[in-house]
Amino acid sequence: MVMSAGELAKLIGAAVEGDPNVRVSGVSSPERAGANDLIYLDAPKHRERAEASRAKCVLAHSGVRMADKTVLEAAEPKLAFAKAGSRLAVAPTVHSETHATAIVAPDAKVGKTVSIGPYAVIEPGAEIGSGTMIEAFCYIGRGARIGENCLLHPRVTLYEGARVGNRVEIHSGTVIGSDGFGYVFGDGQQWKFPQVGEVRIGDDVEVGANATIDRGSLETTEISRGVKIDNLVQIAHNVKIGEHSVVAAQTGVSGSATLGQRVVVGGQVGIADHCRIEDGAMLGAQAGIPSGKTIRAGQVVWGTPARPLDRFKEQYAHASRLPDLVERVRKLEQKLAGQ
Amino acid sequence: MVMSAGELAKLIGAAVEGDPNVRVSGVSSPERAGANDLIYLDAPKHRERAEASRAKCVLAHSGVRMADKTVLEAAEPKLAFAKAGSRLAVAPTVHSETHATAIVAPDAKVGKTVSIGPYAVIEPGAEIGSGTMIEAFCYIGRGARIGENCLLHPRVTLYEGARVGNRVEIHSGTVIGSDGFGYVFGDGQQWKFPQVGEVRIGDDVEVGANATIDRGSLETTEISRGVKIDNLVQIAHNVKIGEHSVVAAQTGVSGSATLGQRVVVGGQVGIADHCRIEDGAMLGAQAGIPSGKTIRAGQVVWGTPARPLDRFKEQYAHASRLPDLVERVRKLEQKLAGQ
Amino acid sequence: MVMSAGELAKLIGAAVEGDPNVRVSGVSSPERAGANDLIYLDAPKHRERAEASRAKCVLAHSGVRMADKTVLEAAEPKLAFAKAGSRLAVAPTVHSETHATAIVAPDAKVGKTVSIGPYAVIEPGAEIGSGTMIEAFCYIGRGARIGENCLLHPRVTLYEGARVGNRVEIHSGTVIGSDGFGYVFGDGQQWKFPQVGEVRIGDDVEVGANATIDRGSLETTEISRGVKIDNLVQIAHNVKIGEHSVVAAQTGVSGSATLGQRVVVGGQVGIADHCRIEDGAMLGAQAGIPSGKTIRAGQVVWGTPARPLDRFKEQYAHASRLPDLVERVRKLEQKLAGQ
């Protein structure tokens, strides 16, 4: 997409300082930018990198001036840059095309302008909304439903009956709707607890590569609108994740845990079964939330078992000074023994 | 599968209280149940949900009575419910069918009533037992052997020579028989230690989605009968896991570690190389077992490095009170200084 | 490959003690070895196993003698054994063959003696160097470039533009070049930060199964020559890993972190964003390196937050004795109260 700095500024709500006719066609880092790339500057320490860049247009805080560059002024340059990126990105043109090698069940309902890649398999009863791209080797199980304008990268598996909303992007290797992990031991063996529930992914969700999202056991696993899930994340049966929450790589959410809206989960976090993470809570990387625990709205927690960040820091500081404390107690003992 | 409450009760060893002729055809949660679904109740707090359900048949502890419902009485309702689920589930009918697009080597030995899905690849010398379903995009390497009545979901990879027992279910994206991770540094580079061993999966094993189980280096990686492995689990070279053990999601078992029978491993646990986890031990979520350590039979451990649960709790409680202790020591010092 | 003990000794820099004409054709463990397998012995406690082996040739420290066996003497038997393994391994013969079902774009550049397996998809503009094997179901995105003598096991995904060096081995299910995980929250939703950078894998790299390596956001994700990456590892956008570093299973490296050369990372380690791990550092299993932190060259760290191994041990020992310390303080308080 090519547009003028002025046009772009309007789309992202920025003010223009300098020539509004400069052409912008992409986003880049200062070092890699060409003349028509947009760069951004959100901290004074990066000013030199921005100045040395070939880019003619820079997104920055109000008041920033740079010789020979058009400045798009925004209160939050990084946010505005992300918006600019999405405006400038050339969306892949979806041709209404089913590759000759794709196997689409005769009764599958495929919308208009849908692209189905080589060797994709669409099972009976599946539905695919208009404008959606299904890339190579995707497997869309029996009765699974995918909304409009989705992008499934190569090798995504949707088990039978899985439901995916609109404008959802799923990266390569991800599996949605596999059986939950539940067994009851008896008579000398493990008996599988029924895993016959559903799995629903809301609108505007993005799921990274090689992630796994299990179907519900008797209930439904639900990923709400706007949720972002990173690579290698595990979401167990019956989990509910509220709108616009983000879950970083390699985190695991155990059975029947619920996350509210705008929850931020760091990488490698473990959330045990039946936990309740309220709106806006933040779980630091590698935190462990024990079974059944509630993390209150807006709380920031850290460690295993997770505790409020301040308390974690205090405890950690004290633990670091333990050798000192032991020495102080020894001296007290000596003193008292000497009396 | 449809049967009467009385027939089902016999199959799962429950007593019937109420009308034994009520029809049962599936399992469900109280809220989602239809009249012919079986529900279960194993705690008084869920009684209202059960009573309000449309289900006409409920599995519960002895002595539970519910107006208008047939009660199947069992000592362990959840266990009985799991058994009922497996009895009522309609097993996928395995048609003796190889999809036209599957590539099956002429010398592969394929049993009776085997179903091979679209775009599956079965390499030379592979063997597949009767009643087994191989779904789309599965790759069965040269000389790999799969037993009877197995279910391989789409996109499972078996490397050359991997062996899988009977009634094994493997979920989408899982890789079995990849090379172990072993290198020796010398002459300025990493030299790969030979990874030429075997991998064997016993009968009645279930492996979740996107898991990885490496072949042995010089020995054999062995997953015994009845073991259950969750999504995204890593099993390294030469690991042995004993019968009926369960390993929750994202756990990693390092090279040459051994797990006994009925071991229960929580999620995100790390078991270092050459550990020995004895029968019936339980490793809490996110626990870390240091290299070479033994966990005794039946022990419950927690934390990193893992220690017995009681000790972990005591230490954690003391750590939480460290700020108090420091204050107490400060007061003692003051007092003594003042003498 | 079959050769004499004498020939092999020359290739790996070992001295021969005993009959140099013994034939050697593979490597094995003592128990599984046949007469022509090479075994190794690097600790006296394994001597009996070696003696009882059918193998006629053993790699061992200088001075080791064994009746009826040829001893290849090396300063580091395990290293020499790894070298021997690579010398004796029969490299898969790469036939110049594109399977009839592979879909290779007409303008893709495919080198000499390249093997492309069933159902592989090679998109327009992709390049594949001579001697490389691409196995079944691999997806090589638009403009991706793979060097010479690589081995891509079944079901590897390379996103558009990904670059892979020479002699690289990538195991099944691994995804290279997926979008990084970066969002900026504003106007009530998450905005995706542009993920338009590159990803480059150097020569002689090995990547395990079901791993994920994201492309850069605006920069480049770089895995340098000789790096070894285990199963289920996550490498985020803009990460740089220096030559010959090894990263064990399930570790996650967050955005813009850098690892120097010969860094050794244990399993399940979490390296937060913008960390700097210098040459030769070692990160113990499950360690957590907080955001932006530097680990100095050669340092060995452990725990979360990671600290030097000695300090970790000392703190842990003190923490284990906390109940004692509390008791000692209580006694001091009693004593003082009694005065």
| Same domain (yes/no): C66, C182 | no
Across C151-174, average pLDDT: 98
Strands C228-229 and C189-192: unpaired
Residue B238, burial from CB neighbour count under 10 angstroms (0-12, 13-18, 19+): buried
Across B107-133, average pLDDT: 97
Mutate to test the interface with A, among C119, C134, C213, C218 (most CBs of A within 10 A): C218
Domain that holds residue A146: 97-311
Which of B85, B171, B316 shows the shortest C-beta gap to A175? B171
What residues of chain A lie within 8 A of the CB of B326, using their CB?
Answer: 318, 321, 325
| Residue ranges of E strands in A49-205 | 57-60, 70-73, 97-98, 103-104, 109-110, 115-116, 121-122, 127-128, 133-134, 139-140, 145-146, 151-152, 157-158, 163-164, 169-170, 175-178, 183-186, 189-192, 198-201
Q: What pLDDT score does C337 carry?
A: 83
Across C322-326, average pLDDT: 89
B201 occurs within a structural domain: yes
Q: Cβ contact (<8 Å) for A85 and C181?
A: no
B16 occurs within a structural domain: yes
Catalytic residue chosen out of the listed positions C153, C171, C237, C244: C237
Which of B210, B314, B336 shows the shortest C-beta gap to C210? B210
Across B30-54, average pLDDT: 95
The model's confidence at residue B90, banded by pLDDT at 50, 70 and 90, is: confident
A206 occurs within a structural domain: yes
Q: Which residue type occupies C122?
A: I
SS3 of C180, please? coil
Q: What pLDDT score does B316 carry?
A: 87
Q: Cβ contact (<8 Å) for A154 and C121?
A: yes
Q: How many CB contacts within 8 angstroms connect chain A with chain C?
A: 177
| pTM confidence score | 0.96
Q: What pLDDT score does C339 carry?
A: 67
What residues of chain C lie within 8 A of the CB of B254, using their CB?
Answer: 248-249, 267, 285
% pLDDT > 90, chain B: 90
Q: What pLDDT score does A96 carry?
A: 86
Which of B119, B268, B316 shows the shortest C-beta gap to A270? B268
Q: CB atoms < 10 A from the CB of C93, how many?
A: 8
Q: Is any Cβ of chain B less than 8 angstroms from the Cβ of C264?
A: no
Q: Cβ contact (<8 Å) for B252 and C268?
A: yes
Q: What pLDDT score does A339 carry?
A: 67
Residue C278, burial from CB neighbour count under 10 angstroms (0-12, 13-18, 19+): middle
The model's confidence at residue B219, banded by pLDDT at 50, 70 and 90, is: very high
How close A198 gets to chain B, by Cα (Å)? 11
| Same domain (yes/no): B152, B297 | yes
- Tens of pLDDT, residue by residue over B146-184, are 999 999 999 999 999 999 999 999 999 999 999 999 999
Residues 6+ apart with CB under 8 A from A100: none
- Tens of pLDDT, residue by residue over B198-213, are 999 999 999 999 999 9
Mutate to test the interface with C, among A268, A318, A327 (most CBs of C within 10 A): A268
- Tens of pLDDT, residue by residue over C10-65, are 999 999 999 999 999 999 999 999 999 999 999 999 999 999 999 999 999 999 99
Residues 6+ apart with CB under 8 A from A320: C315
What residues of chain A lie within 8 A of the CB of B85, using their CB?
Answer: 192-194, 196
| Same domain (yes/no): B203, B172 | yes
Is the pLDDT at C98 greater than 70? The verdict is: yes
Is the pLDDT at B339 greater than 70? The verdict is: no
Q: What pLDDT score does C79 carry?
A: 96
Q: What pLDDT score does A90 carry?
A: 74
Catalytic residue chosen out of the listed positions B237, B244, B274, B318: B237
Residue C209 near residue C172, CB atoms below 8 Å:
yes
Q: Cβ contact (<8 Å) for A210 and C319?
A: no
Last residue of a domain, one of C36, C61, C88: C88
Q: What is the mean pLDDT of chain B?
A: 95
Largest separation between any pair of C-alpha atoms in chain C: 95
Residues 6+ apart with CB under 8 A from A295: A275, A276, A277, A278, A281, A283, A289, A301, A306
| Same domain (yes/no): A66, A105 | no
Last residue of a domain, one of C28, C62, C88: C88
C327 occurs within a structural domain: no
**Buried b / exposed e along A73-107 (16+ C-beta atoms within 10 A):** bbeebbbbbbbbbbbbeeeeebeeebbebbbbeee
B291 occurs within a structural domain: yes
> Which of the 8 DSSP states describes residue A203?
T
| Same domain (yes/no): A246, A171 | yes
| Same domain (yes/no): C247, C291 | yes
Q: What pLDDT score does A93 carry?
A: 72
Is the pLDDT at A335 greater than 90? The verdict is: no
Q: Which of residues 1-20 of A touch C (CB under 8 A)?
A: none
Dihedral sign from CA coordinates of A62, A65, A66, A68: positive
Q: What is the CATH number of the domain that holds C302?
A: 2.160.10.10
- Tens of pLDDT, residue by residue over B64-78, are 999 999 999 999 999
Q: Is any Cβ of chain A less than 8 angstroms from the Cβ of C165?
A: no
Q: Cβ contact (<8 Å) for C319 and A320?
A: no
Across C184-201, average pLDDT: 95
- Tens of pLDDT, residue by residue over B308-327, are 999 999 988 888 888 889 99
Q: What is the mean pLDDT of chain C?
A: 95
Q: Is any Cβ of chain A less than 8 angstroms from the Cβ of C314?
A: yes
> Domain tally for chain C?
2
Is the pLDDT at B216 greater than 90? The verdict is: yes
Give the distance, in angstroms, between the CA of residue C309 and the centroid of all CA atoms in the same chain.
23
Residue with tokens 């991998």, as numbered in its chain = B199
% pLDDT > 90, chain C: 90
- Tens of pLDDT, residue by residue over A6-32, are 999 999 999 999 999 999 999 999 999
Q: What pLDDT score does C179 carry?
A: 97
Across A223-239, average pLDDT: 98
- Tens of pLDDT, residue by residue over A107-132, are 999 999 999 999 999 999 999 999 99
Q: What is the CATH number of the domain that holds C58?
A: 3.40.1390.10
Is the pLDDT at C195 greater than 70? The verdict is: yes
A31 occurs within a structural domain: yes
Q: Cβ contact (<8 Å) for A316 and C305?
A: yes
Q: Which of residues 24-43 of C touch B (CB under 8 A)?
A: 26-29, 32
Q: Is any Cβ of chain A less than 8 angstroms from the Cβ of B167?
A: no
Q: What pLDDT score does B144 carry?
A: 98
Is the pLDDT at C96 greater than 90? The verdict is: no
Which of C82, C136, C248 shows the shortest C-beta gap to B184? C82
- Subunit partners of chain B (3 or more CB pairs within 8 A): A, C
Q: Which of C53, C60, C52 is nearest to C81 (CA)?
A: C60
| Residue ranges of E strands in A157-275 | 157-158, 163-164, 169-170, 175-178, 183-186, 189-192, 198-201, 206-207, 212-214, 220-223, 228-229, 234-235, 240-241, 246-247, 252-253, 258-259, 264-265, 270-271
Q: Cβ contact (<8 Å) for C193 and A325?
A: no
- Tens of pLDDT, residue by residue over C281-313, are 999 999 999 999 999 999 999 999 999 999 999
How close B202 gets to chain A, by Cα (Å)? 14
A317 occurs within a structural domain: no
Q: Cβ contact (<8 Å) for A228 and C183?
A: yes
C171 occurs within a structural domain: yes
Distance, in Å, from the CA atom of B262 to the CA atom of C73, rounded to the nearest integer, reads 44
Tokens for A269?
Answer: 């976090």
Q: Cβ contact (<8 Å) for B231 and A214?
A: yes
Residue B244 catalytic? no
Q: Is any Cβ of chain C less than 8 angstroms from the Cβ of A181?
A: no
CA geometry: angle A159, C190, A211, nearest 5 deg: 30
Mutate to test the interface with C, among B181, B189, B217, B268 (most CBs of C within 10 A): B181
CA dist A284 → B39, B112, C214 (Å): 38, 53, 22
Closest-approach residue (CA) in chain C for A330: C328
Closest-approach residue (CA) in chain B for A189: B244
Which of C212, C218, C304 shows the shortest C-beta gap to A210? C212
What residues of chain C lie within 8 A of the CB of A119, using their CB?
Answer: 103, 119, 121, 137
| Same domain (yes/no): B188, B257 | yes
Last residue of a domain, one of B53, B88, B123: B88
- List the beta bridge partners of residue A234: A212, A252
| Same domain (yes/no): B10, B113 | no
Q: Is any Cβ of chain C less than 8 angstroms from the Cβ of B242?
A: no
- Tens of pLDDT, residue by residue over A70-113, are 999 999 999 999 999 999 987 767 778 999 999 999 999 999 99
Catalytic residue chosen out of the listed positions A171, A237, A274, A318: A237
| Same domain (yes/no): B106, B230 | yes
| Same domain (yes/no): A56, A102 | no
Q: Is any Cβ of chain B less than 8 angstroms from the Cβ of C312?
A: no
Is the pLDDT at B195 greater than 90? The verdict is: yes
Across C120-124, average pLDDT: 98
Residue C71 near residue C64, CB atoms below 8 Å:
yes
| Same domain (yes/no): C115, C258 | yes
Q: What pLDDT score does A315 carry?
A: 87
Q: Cβ contact (<8 Å) for A76 and C184?
A: yes
Question: Per-residue DSSP letters for B245-298?
Answer: -EE-TT-EE-TT-EE-TT-EE-TT-EE-TT-EE-TT-EE-TT-EE-TT-EE-TT
User: Higher pLDDT residue, A66 or C319?
Assistant: A66
| Same domain (yes/no): A165, A55 | no
Across A158-170, average pLDDT: 98
Which of C137, C286, C325 shows the shortest C-beta gap to B139? C137
Across C76-85, average pLDDT: 96
